[in-house]
Amino acid sequence: MRPATWLVPLGKWVAQGIGFFFVLTIISFLIVQLAPGDAVLSMLRIDTVAVTQDEIEALRNELGLNDPAWQQYVRFLGGVLQGDFGASLMTGKSVMGELSKAFPYTLMLAGATMAVVIVITFVLGGLAARFRGSLVDKGVAAFCTAGAAVPTFWLGLLLIDLFAVRLHILPSSGMATAAGLVLPTVALAIAIAPPYIKILRNSLIEASGREFVRAARARGVTESVIFGKHTLRDSLIPLVTILGVSLGSLLGGTVIVEVTFGIPGVGKLAVEALARRDYGVIQAFIIVVGMAIFVINLLVDLSYRALDPSISLKGAERA
Amino acid sequence: MSKPRPRLVRAFAIVLASCMALLVSCSSGSGDISSVNGGADGEKVLRFVTVYPPNTTDAHLVNAAFVLNSGAVESLVGIDPETLKPYPWLAESWQSDDAQHWTLTIRQGITFHNGKPLNAEAVRASLQHVIEVNPGVAAALKIQDVQAADEYTLKITTESVYPALISNLIHQNAVIVDVTDPGELPIGTGPFKFESFDPNTEAVLVRNTDYWDGQAKLDKVVMAANADANARMLAIQAGDADIIYRPSTESIDTLSADPNITVESVPGSRVYHLMYNYSGKNAELWNNVEFRRGIDALMDRQAIVEGVMAGQGTVAFNPFPGNWPFSPTPMEHKHGTEEALKHFQAAGLQVTDGKVTKDSQPLTLKVVTYIARPELPLIAQLLRDSAAKVGITMDIQVADNIDEYVETNEFDVMTYSLLTITRGDGSFFLNGTFGQGGAQNHGRFQDPTLTTMLDAFNSELDSDARNEKAKEIASWLEAEAINSYLVVPNETSAYSKRVTGWQTPVNEFEFPMITKDIDID
């Protein structure tokens, strides 16, 4: 029964998605409830305006911040279900509008980083596996150790110093042109790539020793075909798993790089919102990024089925 | 594994070459930035990087002073950066007999950037808008009613007698913009107008050729913000910026050594101080003036300036240090262990072998500090070290958000930073810190003498008399050691030697940093 084969996992994913969404709304709501302070002091410009405690409380009442928690949650959930996270307390503009303006920058950075990571991983991982035990392998291992050890912000500053300050070939910050994407992408990619390189190298070495590879070689199949059709494919599953997870975490994890390079992405937006206690933005950030990570993991799950048909078959058997 | 084949090496070389080509093609994109930097066709273009990024293009809501700093907008009242005296800006004059009913005459012959005339109705609409959308400005202005009496006469009624109105019209969000304009860009009256403005990246401003007060020397300004001090320093070193505001203290020597860069420092308008808790578990101690004087005597202010601030500051003894119209003459202050012990003894504490005890028990106090201003934790450490010499233990607590932490009331003394000399008037500091229910009165200090003096200050309309009253209050605070005012951190900027006409402001909140007088070679 083929429809049942697909409907059951689809139903599971939808149920998981809905459940995860509600968990996210509760978490994001509780985080804000438990966090100290609110945006009222910022809104009243307490740094430059002499306000009284009475004025602070009056504004809290007006914004409903003193209402019981359940009332605030119901109000919050009602808005979220309509895709309305309210207005940013600091800008007066739609929270979703603020996020949608910032998301392209982070997506660009995350996408470019993943592309560079994939290139570096395949080139260096492939070379290390191919020249196992050689100077090349050791060189790649040294690169991995250095990349994993160097703090991203420090690497970012070094890159700025070299390419912007000394060589004047790339801008020191901002993304006014595509050139602005180069240094943050390189900084992030160098920090992120090492585990993938290691995983691919080890997987390739492991796969190259498997029986089906030896059998193919014995049949006289060329090395490039063995690599493309057998070794590489067999090595991709662990890599795709970790790459998928990383893409999700990259969406929320580019904060330091975004701040260092002045990139107006969601990470920077969230940090600024935290500093200003603009909790609507923070709640939307948690839910949107959380759901994005859920969808990415779902796609990773689907990609297993494409890479390894036995997973689909097992699922079908269980169904 | 088998030996590598030339084809794999070739493939690797192709990938590398592609990456290099991508890098080169991207870097050629930076040529656009260079052309903006240098200016096409002899255009005079200045790139300015300030600290705090704007959160919106709305001049009435923006959290940083980015829009005011840009030189695109103006207020009814300005403030002279050298004397800190308010001056007529878009308002030609103002008058009030009772400090509650005000008449302002709007300057004639001025147009907004969109060509609409500036008149009393446009100003009324702008003020009405800002007090509706910005509760902070509403609290600052306390406007009950605002009306356009005729083409150029504006009538304002405040909620009560409020001589501080004129000073508060200088607030960064109280700028006058055309609120009827449907666009996203702030439409002001300044010497520059926004050509584009993306709060996430940068603003591009061009000369307003119809400016009412003469032509700007620059053709274009590209203005951005970066809260990372390292990034700002690298921007000016890389030539991506012509002026940066507030380089970090650590970078000043490096930048000063650069033959192409000028570093400028001026005393700022905030004061780092110790705020005492008059209502905590050790309230009895802090309400004892001799104990406060003893703590004050432990603080070596010059050591803070030299050791903590690398010389980028000046000592302070009261909240209004300097030579401003409301700055009192500082009193004589002795510091040191011996001096402190004298005061502790006078406070009724026991002093044995140079160590202080209370009821035969050693004293332990809690100092709360925060890292948003990196010098403050170091000042807390100096206090702890000095107190240890007289046997007082100071436990340091570092708070993420000091304003929220102090609501717990679980501290004895806090290191704090406040703007004290604000908008040419002491009203913000005095009322916020010592007024009835003042939100910055974290130590919950109350004193009838101070309340009486503050009431007199708040009802004084004459600016000279008002300054005298502010001086009296500051002197009283100093004499009574109500909190310990320590140092004024400098405000700094670094700019290319090609730039002329730049003036480092005493704070980022009150001044148009980009002015018509700035020029670049």
Please tell me the distance from the alpha carbon of residue A28 to that of residue A286, in angstroms, as a whole number.
6
Q: Which pLDDT band holds residue B17 (cuts at 50, 70, 90)? A: very low
What confidence tens digit (pLDDT) does each residue in B181-199 have? 999 899 999 999 999 998 8
pLDDT of residue B13: 43
pLDDT of residue B226: 86
Chain A: give the shortest CA distance to residue B379, in Å: 21
CB A192 within 8 Å of CB A145: no
A9 and A135 in a single domain? The answer is no
Rounded to an integer, the average pLDDT of B493-497 is 97
| Candidate from B1, B56, B58 with C-beta closest to A208 | B1
- Does the reported pTM lie above 0.90? no
pLDDT of residue B377: 94
Please tell me the distance from the alpha carbon of residue A53 to that of residue B437, in angstroms, as a whole number.
5
A221 and A169 in a single domain? The answer is yes
Residue A139 in tokens: 């060189």
pLDDT of residue A164: 81
pLDDT of residue B44: 95
Given a cut of 80, whether residue A306 has pLDDT beyond it is no
Higher-pLDDT residue of A214 and B418 is B418
pLDDT of residue B5: 45
Looking from the CA of A8 toward its CB, the CA atoms found within 13 Å total 10
- Which residues make beta-bridge pairs with B196? B204
Query: What SS3 string covers B390-451?
Result: CCCEEEEEEECCHHHHHHHCCCCEEEEEEECCECCECHHHHHHHHCCCECCCCCCCCCHHHH
The structural domain count of chain A equals: 2
Cβ count near B157 (within 10 Å): 15
Answer whether residue A108 is part of any domain: yes
Answer whether residue A148 is part of any domain: yes
What confidence tens digit (pLDDT) does each residue in B215-238 have? 999 999 999 998 888 889 989 998
CATH number where A164 lies: 1.10.3720.10
Given a cut of 80, whether residue A319 has pLDDT beyond it is no
Task: Mark yes or no for CB contact A52/B235 under 8 Å.
Answer: no
Query: For residue B140, which of A55, A91, A88 has the smallest C-alpha distance?
Result: A55
| Candidate from A123, A126, A164 with C-beta closest to B238 | A164
Higher-pLDDT residue of A184 and B90 is B90
Chain B: give the shortest CA distance to residue A178, in Å: 6
B226 touches chain A (CB under 8 A): yes
- Residue of chain B nearest A102, judged by CA positions: B200
Please tell me the distance from the alpha carbon of residue B416 to that of residue B272, in angstroms, as a whole number.
6
CB A216 within 8 Å of CB A226: yes
Answer whether residue A93 is part of any domain: no
Give me the residues of B, 126-185, that contact A with CB < 8 A: 133-137, 139-140, 168, 171-173
Chain B: give the shortest CA distance to residue A241, in Å: 24
Rounded to an integer, the average pLDDT of B92-121 is 97
Higher-pLDDT residue of B96 and A169 is B96
Please tell me the distance from the alpha carbon of residue B166 to that of residue B102, in angstroms, as a whole number.
10
A259 and A296 in a single domain? The answer is no
User: What domains can you pick out in chain B, each with its CATH number?
Assistant: 1-72+190-260+497-521 (3.40.190.10), 75-180 (3.40.190.10), 270-490 (3.10.105.10)
Q: Which pLDDT band holds residue A147 (cuts at 50, 70, 90)? A: confident
Please tell me the distance from the alpha carbon of residue B345 to that of residue A116, in angstroms, as a whole number.
69
A10 and A114 in a single domain? The answer is no
What confidence tens digit (pLDDT) does each residue in B444-453 have? 999 999 999 9
Answer whether residue A98 is part of any domain: no
Please tell me the distance from the alpha carbon of residue B202 to that of residue B54, in angstroms, as a whole number.
9
Residue B503 in tokens: 């003036």
The gap from C-alpha B97 to its chain's centroid, in whole angstroms, comes to 32
Lowest mean pLDDT among A54-58, A162-166, B20-24: B20-24
Contacts of A261 in chain B (CB under 8 A): 231
pLDDT of residue A105: 87
- What value does the CA radius of gyration of chain B take, rounded to a whole number of Å? 27
Query: What SS3 string covers chain A?
Result: CHHHHHHHHHHHHHHHHHHHHHHHHHHHHHHHHHCCCCCHHHHCCCCCCCCEHHHHHHHHHHCCCCCCHHHHHHHHHHHHHCCCCCECCCCCCEHHHHHHHHHHHHHHHHHHHHHHHHHHHHHHHHHHHHCCCCHHHHHHHHHHHHHHHCCHHHHHHHHHHHHHHHCCCCCCCCCCCHHHHHHHHHHHHHHHHHHHHHHHHHHHHHHHCCHHHHHHHHCCCCHHHHHHHHHHHHHHHHHHHHHHHHHHHHHHHCHHHHHHCCCCCHHHHHHHHHHHCCHHHHHHHHHHHHHHHHHHHHHHHHHHHHHCHHHHHHHHHHC
Cα-Cα-Cα-Cα torsion B395, B400, B403, B407, nearest 10 degrees, comes to -60
- Residue of chain B nearest A272, judged by CA positions: B55
CB B45 within 8 Å of CB B221: yes
Tell me the ipTM for this assembly: 0.79
Alpha helices (H) in B81-189, listed in sequence order: 120-133, 135-141, 165-168
Q: Which pLDDT band holds residue B29 (cuts at 50, 70, 90)? A: very low
A33 and A119 in a single domain? The answer is no
Contacts of B18 (CB under 8 A, 6+ apart): none
Amino acid type, A210: R
Please tell me the distance from the alpha carbon of residue B483 to that of residue B277, in angstroms, as a whole number.
9
N- to C-terminal Cα separation, chain A: 10
User: Residue B225 in 3-state DSSP?
Assistant: strand
Q: For the sheet containing B355-358, what is the strand order?
A: B350-352, B355-358, B361-362
Contacts of B499 (CB under 8 A, 6+ apart): B46, B242, B243, B262, B518, B519, B520
CB B173 within 8 Å of CB B137: yes
Exposure string over B246-258, b if 16+ CB within 10 A, otherwise e: bbbbebbeebeee
Answer whether residue A97 is part of any domain: no
Rounded to an integer, the average pLDDT of B233-257 is 92
A109 and A236 in a single domain? The answer is yes
Structural domain boundaries enclosing A76: 1-82+267-319
pLDDT of residue B24: 37
Answer whether residue A143 is part of any domain: yes
Highest mean pLDDT pick, A60-64, A187-191, A200-204, B89-93: B89-93
CB B487 within 8 Å of CB B272: yes
Amino acid type, A6: W
| Candidate from B198, B228, B439 with C-beta closest to A52 | B439
A77 and A109 in a single domain? The answer is no
Residue A248 in tokens: 């999700």
Given a cut of 80, whether residue B19 has pLDDT beyond it is no
What confidence tens digit (pLDDT) does each residue in B30-54 have? 333 333 444 566 899 999 999 988 8
B428 touches chain A (CB under 8 A): yes
Task: Mark yes or no for CB contact A52/B437 under 8 Å.
Answer: yes
What confidence tens digit (pLDDT) does each residue in B274-305 have? 999 999 999 999 999 999 999 999 999 999 99
Phi, psi of A54 (to 5 degrees): -65, -40
Query: For residue B390, which of B350, B360, B359 has the smallest C-alpha distance?
Result: B350
Given a cut of 90, whether residue B203 has pLDDT beyond it is yes
Answer whether residue A17 is part of any domain: yes
Please tell me the distance from the alpha carbon of residue A152 to that of residue A188, in angstroms, as a whole number.
7
Given a cut of 90, whether residue B480 has pLDDT beyond it is yes
A190 and A273 in a single domain? The answer is no
A231 and A281 in a single domain? The answer is no
What confidence tens digit (pLDDT) does each residue in A251-287 have? 666 777 887 887 888 888 888 787 777 788 888 888 8
Chain B: give the shortest CA distance to residue A207, in Å: 11
Rounded to an integer, the average pLDDT of B456-482 is 95
| Candidate from A36, A43, A223 with C-beta closest to B136 | A43
Cβ count near A61 (within 10 Å): 11
A127 and A259 in a single domain? The answer is yes
Answer whether residue A175 is part of any domain: yes
What confidence tens digit (pLDDT) does each residue in A171-196 have? 777 776 778 888 889 888 888 888 88
pLDDT of residue A191: 85
Specify whether the backbone of A168 is left (phi greater than 0), alpha (psi in -120 to 50) or beta.
left
Rounded to an integer, the average pLDDT of A112-133 is 88
Cβ count near B95 (within 10 Å): 9
Contacts of B58 in chain A (CB under 8 A): 91-92
A39 and A117 in a single domain? The answer is no
A173 and A275 in a single domain? The answer is no
Q: Which pLDDT band holds residue A314 (cuts at 50, 70, 90)? A: low
CB B29 within 8 Å of CB A178: yes
pLDDT of residue B185: 95
What confidence tens digit (pLDDT) does each residue in B301-332 have? 999 999 999 999 999 999 999 999 999 998 98
Chain A: give the shortest CA distance to residue B113, in Å: 23
